[in-house]
Amino acid sequence: MPELVFTKTISESLKQYCSLNHIKNAVVLCDSNTKLHCLPTLSEFNFPVIVCPAGEKSKSFEQVSFIVNQLIDLNADRQTHLINLGGGMVSDLGGFVASIYKRGIPFINIPTSLLGMVDAGIGGKTGIDFLNYKNIIGAFNHAKAIFISSEFLQTLPSEEFVSAWSEIVKTATVANLELFQTIENKTDIDEIIKQCALTKTKLVEMDFKDLNIRQLLNFGHTIGHALESYQLEINAPIHHGFAVAYGMLIELKVALQLETINKEEFNRIAALIKTKVAYEIEEEGLFDSYSKYLLGDKKNNDSNISFSLPKSIGNGQYQCKVSMDQLKNWKIEGII
Ligand SMILES: NC(=O)c1ccc[n+]([C@@H]2O[C@H](COP(=O)([O-])OP(=O)(O)OC[C@H]3O[C@@H](n4cnc5c(N)ncnc54)[C@H](O)[C@@H]3O)[C@@H](O)[C@H]2O)c1
């Protein structure tokens, strides 16, 4: 498992790590936004820098090829560390390049988005998109170290911040009661990031390849991914976090219907989702529009849909099967 470092001063911690691990060569990968806002934090290192365009579109073979070209030009060898300085796009892309360049070079993640700090930068899933399929090409490969510091959040656009809350609430709901209570009662972002990152780390330790208990983290994502795909189809993309928030609310209804959760806890979870990730969506006819993407979901091996659902706050279950017929009349309208 990677070294997970929570710090207030990234440059100090990285300096220490490089010295202890005798790291002489490193290359920083960032995107156009993190180059501007986050790279100055590493200015004292004088590492060469590769910059790719910001946005999900950079999780592509084109950018893999661009980065590999740059690494060759920089004479990067198998001891060279790739430092991924950015959100989930940069860590997914950079982690993937590091997994294949010269059959694998070490990499370090320095997540700069809230989503990266609590989720994407942790867990060793690396990859790119292909032919409109998200993360269809990739590798499981752990970073050597992950440095987490909320100092980067000051420049993060507010929409990115709000949407990342979906993943925090998700992790708390299915895997950590204490984190859930912390979110309900406090706003200390450092404490929340730490608890959330450690919770994900624990699940990854138990199930690196996502074959069983790690699937708890899919709560909200079965419906969320289907909705995201449909919105892409109609050229009206919505933020992943907002799709997941909608997904969690519908999937909570599934849990209530299946009586895996009681009404009181249902209300508490729904209230937290609504408080942390406000959104508006027109639901009329929506299920008919996104349902075709549910059947294509990679977690389904027959016409039933597979869900990860909460059992009680902080506990979940995975691979719960629900038929399409059971699903179709459920809307979030009227929830609390
Ligand atoms: N590997 C995993 O386990 C995992 C888990 C969840 C999500 N993901 C992936 O992560 C990606 C989404 O991650 P994301 O939300 O971080 O997206 P992102 O990396 O695209 O970052 C979102 C936006 O914020 C900008 N940004 C990042 N940090 C900034 C900062 N400190 N200041 C100013 N701007 C900043 C980026 O340039 C970008 O425009 C998706 O590709 C998703 O598939 C991976």
- Tell me: the pLDDT tens digits for 124-142? 999 999 887 888 999 999 9
Q: Is the CB of 125 under 6 A from ligand 1?
A: yes
Ligand 1 close to Cβ of residue 228 (< 6 A): no
Q: Whats the size of the chain, residue-wise?
A: 336
Span 158-217, pLDDT tens digits = 999 999 999 999 999 999 999 999 999 977 999 999 999 999 999 999 999 999 999 999
Res 237 pLDDT > 90: no
Position 115 scores a pLDDT of 97
Q: What is the per-residue pLDDT for 300?
A: 58
Average pLDDT over residues 23-47: 97
Residue 270, both tokens: 């729904």
At 282 the pLDDT is 82
Higher pLDDT among residues 322 and 114, named by residue = 114
Mean pLDDT of 26-40: 98
- Whether pTM > 0.85 for this model: the answer is yes
pLDDT at 13: 97
The number of the ligand 1 atom at minimal distance from the alpha carbon of 126 is: 1
Bridge partner residues of 299 (DSSP): none
Is 105 touching ligand 1 by the criterion CB < 6 Å? Answer: no
Q: Distance, CA 194 to ligand 1 centroid (Å)?
A: 18
Buried b (16+ CB within 10 A) or exposed e, 275-310: ebbebeeeeeebbeebbebbeebebeeeeebbbbbb
**Mean pLDDT, to the nearest integer, of 213-229?**
94
Asked if residue 54 has its Cβ within 6 Å of ligand 1, the reply is: yes
Nearest atom, ligand 1, residue 134 CA: 43
**Of the candidate ranges 15-29, 138-152, 262-276, 286-300, the one whose mean pLDDT is the lowest:** 286-300
pLDDT at 336: 55
Q: Is 163 in the pocket of ligand 1 (CB under 6 A)?
A: no
The number of beta carbons lying within 10 Å of the beta carbon of residue 39 is 17
Q: Per CATH, which fold does 158-327 belong to?
A: Dehydroquinate synthase-like, alpha domain (1.20.1090)
In CATH, which of 3.40.50.1970, 3.40.50.2000, 2.30.30.90, 3.90.1150.10 is domain 3-155? 3.40.50.1970
C-alpha of residue 89 to centroid of ligand 1, in Å: 5
Q: Which atom of ligand 1 is nearest to the CA of 31?
A: 37
Round the average pLDDT of the chain to a whole number and report it.
93
Decide if pLDDT at 272 tops 60: yes
Using the predicted structure, report yes or no on whether residue 323 has a pLDDT greater than 90. no
Q: Is the pLDDT of residue 149 over 90?
A: yes
Chain centre to alpha carbon of residue 167: 7
Tens of pLDDT, residues 280-312: 788 888 888 888 888 765 565 557 899 999 999
Distance CA 78, CA 181 (A): 45
Residue spans of the domains in the chain: they are 3-155, 158-327
Share of the chain above pLDDT 90, in %: 77
pLDDT of res. 298 = 56
**Per-residue pLDDT tens digits for 82-131:** 999 999 999 999 999 999 999 999 999 999 999 999 999 999 999 999 88
Find the 88 Cα to ligand 1 centroid distance in Å: 4
> How confident is the model at residue 297, as a pLDDT?
59
Mutate to test the pocket of ligand 1, among 28, 33, 163 (most ligand atoms within 8 A of CB): 33
C-alpha span between 306 and 326 (Å, rounded): 12
**Residue 156 Cβ < 6 Å to ligand 1:** yes
Q: Residue 25 has what pLDDT?
A: 96
Q: What contacts 91, CB < 8 A, 6 or more positions away? A: 84, 109, 111, 116, 120, 121, 126, 143
Measured in whole angstroms, how far is the alpha carbon of residue 73 from the centre of its chain? 31
